[in-house]
Amino acid sequence: MERDNKMRKASVNCQTKETKIDISLNVDGKGKYNISSPIAFLSHMLESFAKHGLFDISLKAEGDMQVDQHHTVEDCGIILGMVFNKALGSKKGINRAGYFVFPMDDALASVSVDLSGRPFLIYNVQFTRHFCGDFDTDLLKDFFQGFAVNLKANIAIQLLYGKNDHHKIEAIFKALGKAMKMACSIDPRLGENILSTKGRL
**Dist. CA 137–CA 93, nearest whole Å:** 36
pLDDT band for position 201 (50/70/90)? confident
Residues 143 and 49: their CA atoms lie apart, in Å, by: 13
Fold of 2-189: Ribosomal Protein S5; domain 2 (3.30.230)
DSSP helix/strand/coil, 48: helix
Inform me whether the pLDDT recorded for 4 exceeds 60.
Answer: no
What are the residue boundaries of the structural domains of the chain, listed by start? 2-189
Model confidence band, residue 196 (pLDDT cutoffs 50, 70, 90): confident
Give the Cβ contact number of residue 186 at 10 Å. Answer: 14
Residue 8 per-residue DSSP state: T
**Which tens digit of pLDDT belongs to each residue from 101-160?**
999 999 999 999 999 999 999 999 999 999 999 999 999 999 999 999 999 999 999 999
Q: How far apart are CA 154 and CA 113, in angstroms?
A: 6
pLDDT given for residue 3 in this prediction: 45
Q: Convert the pLDDT of each residue in 7-40 to its tens digit.
A: 899 999 999 999 999 999 999 999 999 999 999 9
**pTM above the 0.75 mark?**
yes
Angle at 5 between CA 16 and CA 34, to 5 degrees: 50
The CA–CA distances, whole Å, from 158 to 102, 110, 162, 176 equal: 11, 5, 11, 11
